[in-house]
Amino acid sequence: MLLRRLKFLAWLAAILVIVLGGSYLFAPQLLLRANFMREAMTAHLEKHSVQAGDTRWVYYEGGDGPTIVLLHGFAANKEVWLPVAKLLTPHFHLIIPDLPGWGESSRVAGASYNVDAQAARLQAFVETLRLQRFVLVGHSLGGAIAGVYATEHPEHVTELALVDAYGLKSQENAFTREAMAGKNPFLFDDRAGFARATALAFEKPLDLPGRIVDVLVKRNQQDRAFIQSNFNELRDPSQYLALQNRLDQFAMPVLGLWCHDDKIVDLSALDSLRNGLTHASAISTSIINGCNHMPMLEKPEQTAQILTGFALSH
């Protein structure tokens, strides 16, 4: 009997090796999807979809407590928040969407996806889900969208958290010089290009299996036209100063959370935020060391701790 069980376990192990090895070689996208499903389950999140305005929104939802809406940045998706989400769902009700045009949410050919258009779409999403009052958190481009939304719909936003947010005055760096010259560093065609692009956003090189990188390269190639079109829209002053021009309109508590070594949105943007918030009821700022532009992935525990403290303090 023991020998039979050992043989069965050996066969089972062999089958798993074959299936996983085959998936890695021939369908790595399935492994990537399975890993996201695992992370979402760990965070007690469920995936939903809803039609709101011109967009079929796909989003995660889960957890109990006050509602927090988390917005991702340019060329990213809702999954970037999963490491933080598992630390927040014990205390908060989370809603984490793919912004229109990105991830699994739908895209309208030829439509604008600049900061203002996305803020208007966000209101359609909020109305469709019948959300009332919530903490709004935005990272990078999502920060600009969150900020514009908060000035236009303060009745919904109890607190606003801006994480390495786009849309503020800051010292020029290599990234902004290239971007204003029209060079788009978010486009890549191979593993080397992926490494260069991610080096802009991460303090340490990403240690991903090669076939998983290939999946991300293919997605980038498929989205190339949209990435370039949106990148061009965001080079307009109305966009890269979208938050700066509205800072005196914020009345709710505002948190500015930055990585100390951000190579995309220089840390000096935090000074612009702090100095421009003349009417905010409370101002909080936090700086995380040892990360670049993606604190939710590079420093999830510290990011979750700061967001939790801010959300519960008002």
* C-alpha triplet 109, 105, 294: angle, nearest 5°: 110
Using CA atoms of 211, 213, 214, 219 in order, give the dihedral in degrees to the nearest 10. Answer: 140
Tell whether domain 43-312 is in CATH 3.40.50.1820. yes
Judge whether 158 and 314 are in contact, CB under 8 Å: yes
Question: Rounded distance, CA 295 to CA 261, Å?
Answer: 11
Mean pLDDT of 70-94: 98
Q: Where are the alpha helices (DSSP H) in 130-223?
A: 141-152, 174-180, 191-201, 210-222
Q: What is the pLDDT of residues 270-309, one digit of tens each?
A: 999 999 999 999 999 999 999 999 999 999 999 999 999 9
Residue at token pair 């990011």:
303
The values of phi and psi at residue 73, to 5°, are: -105, -165
Ranking 1-5, 19-23, 88-92, 249-253 by mean pLDDT, the lowest is: 19-23
Neighbour tally for 230: CB within 10 Å? 22
pLDDT recorded at residue 4: 55
* CA R_g for the chain: 20
> Is the confidence at residue 268, as pLDDT, over 80?
yes
Question: Rounded distance, CA 264 to CA 278, Å?
Answer: 26
Give domain limits for the chain. 43-312
Q: Could you tell me the CA-to-CA distances from 150 to 104, 119, 201 in Å, in that order?
A: 25, 9, 26
Using CA atoms of 238, 239, 243, 245 in order, give the dihedral in degrees to the nearest 10. Answer: -10
Closest by alpha carbon to 214, among 196, 194, 238?
194
pTM comes to 0.91
Mean pLDDT of 5-11: 45
Q: What is the pLDDT of residues 230-257, one digit of tens each?
A: 999 999 999 999 999 999 999 999 999 9
The values of phi and psi at residue 182, to 5°, are: 95, 0
Q: Could you tell me the CA-to-CA distances from 74 to 1, 56, 80, 257, 312 in Å, in that order?
A: 58, 18, 11, 17, 28
pLDDT recorded at residue 7: 45
Mean pLDDT of 46-54: 98
